[in-house]
Chains A and B, each alone.
Chain A
């Protein structure tokens, strides 16, 4: 029973991705007949994709966009949440409300007002405008996690920092940072994936100057004749950084999001 369940589970979750990726390796003359599918593998379509300047450009743009937005969003959230907890401000509750609200309502509800705003301040269809939007989205996501984690820190730690009159920034880097580093890396990964996967903001906030990869994928599906082999290859490329990141870091970082260190700066914190 265990073996059957395991096989079924792996087939259900992994087979669609595997088969889709394998389809991109099929030679062009085989794709019309599925009976011959998979007999010969051909990397030609990838060579074609990597020699396409537009695709490479959109890949590069999305990489920079994802890295920049996740970096700014996570670090701004970290500093904000840290300072709010340090000063025991009520504002943290409002920040939590705003973050929950952001993640409850559909993205399309934000996309259009932001489109009007960016159009007004001449940032529509610019890299900066898209980075700002994604930074705000990653900021709220990181705030949700960090508020949850900071709220579980023992109150006496703050009291000790108050007694010592430690500066707020020093307390962050010397006391909290060592225990938060894995969580921050995990949040950076999540933020990166979030921005990398986004289609909606790219659709609403760009036109021709900026072309994220997901938009390039969608545009390649339009036209008179669909090249499914190319589409499968583009989809595989879209999945590759996520799969690579997951296999490289998941064991160390992503699962640690829910298990922060129980020692903070030498003080055993019970929670």
Chain B
């Protein structure tokens, strides 16, 4: 059947509404080879590593102790990890990162409102591109850029801070515990702040314009307009964006690894950076497997909890 005939046939058949009621689906999903290929990819890429990791969490896998290497350890790895301070330290630092991300989101919302006040209908294409470029920049390059800007000898950022007296001549921002957090927050905001602001601007444009017109006639204050009227209308989209930012921040690894490597000391030793240390530096594979398993279980609980509400629109089958 040619394309034209197929199109006209479709138009004709759509009018016959009663036909669709008589159709009975006969699910024959598993007979298709592509489904088996997808199942194979998912099994190899996700389920095999998961079960392998569960197995490893019960085995002694510390190369510094060859006498017990490969032997069954029971729940010893679990008890060691839970009793050690590193797990809780990493979670503490990750929570600090989440708090910073929340503040960044508030700042992005303010910028988004400013953009909406100035450009209510259409934003310049150049501004969109300018916001997207930092988000698509490799975190490795962003981390290197931050190291360059806050270098204690030739960094323009350091020069700037010293000029305004915010940093002593004998101090380096990345060598101070709070300074390292400030640098991480700045580069993270540079990367994700503009795109979040543009997203909030877009959400605001979806609000019917007559609401703003009525607010103008009623002389409602801007703060009240956005806090009491505009944001409650778009709260679902904003919540989804905030959730995305928080998860992305919690899973981020590259920027902190490149910029501070968890330091100075353990000031920025987030959960992911700590896990990298346990595996690649200390080579405690058994303890690392426990770390991973704990986080996987936590993630499964989170997915099951948020999926029903956040992705109801996507669930179409069944």
Binding site for B on A (CB under 8 A): 1-2, 5-6, 9-10, 12-14, 16-17, 19-20, 23, 31-32, 34, 76, 79-80, 83-85, 87-93, 95-98, 100-110, 112-114, 116-117, 120, 132-133, 135-136, 139, 147-148, 151, 156-157, 159-160, 162-164, 168, 174-175, 193, 196-197, 199-200, 203-204, 214, 217-218, 221, 228, 231-232, 235, 238-239, 242-243, 246-247, 250-251, 254, 265-267
Contact = CB atoms under 8 A, between A and B. Distances in A.
8 contacts: A13-B133, A13-B194, A31-B154, A93-B318, A100-B307, A112-B53, A217-B140, A247-B129
Given A109-B275, A112-B288, A139-B45, 10 more contacts: A20-B145, A80-B37, A98-B46, A106-B275, A110-B49, A174-B6, A193-B136, A217-B140, A232-B148, A246-B133
B140 A34 contact: no
Contact of A246 (B129, B147, B279): B129
A148 B314 CA distance: 6
Contact of A265 (B7, B50, B292): B7
Contact of B114 (A5, A79, A199): A5
A90 B136 CA distance: 34
A105 B295 CA distance: 8
A151 B314 contact: yes
A238 B194 contact: no
B144 A250 contact: no
Given A5-B115, A113-B49, A89 B317 contact: yes
Interface in B105-150: 114-115, 118-119, 124-127, 129-134, 136-141, 144-145, 147-149
A175 B23 CA distance: 20
Give 5 closest A-B pairs by Cβ, nearest first.
A266-B7, A113-B49, A136-B45, A106-B251, A197-B138
Contact count band on B: 35 or more
A12 B144 contact: no
Interface string B87-103: 00000000000000000
| B contacts with A: majority SS | helix
Given A76-B41, A104-B303, A151-B314, A196 B138 contact: yes
A228 B124 CA distance: 35
B300 interface: yes
Contact of B46 (A107, A136, A157, A196): A136
A108 B253 CA distance: 8
A114 B49 contact: yes
Contacts of A14: 130, 133
Interface stretch (B13-21, B65-73, B167-175, B214-222): B13-21
A97 B49 contact: no
Contact of A113 (B3, B145, B292): B292
A91 B29 contact: yes
Contacts, number: 261
A139 to B, nearest CB: 6
Contact of A239 (B25, B50, B138, B253): B138
Given A102-B46, A239-B138, A265 B6 contact: yes
A160 B34 contact: no
Nearest to B28: A87
A81 to B, nearest CB: 9
Contacts of B53: 112-113, 116
A34 B156 CA distance: 8
Contacts of A242: 133, 136-138
Given A13-B130, A100-B303, A83 B32 contact: yes
B138 A108 contact: no
Contacts of B124: 6
Contact of B280 (A23, A148, A174, A203): A203
Given A109-B295, A235-B144, A267 B7 contact: yes
B302 interface: yes
A83 B35 contact: yes
B266 interface: no
Contacts of B14: 156, 160, 267
A84 B253 CA distance: 34
Interface string B150-170: 010010100100000000000
A246 B13 contact: no
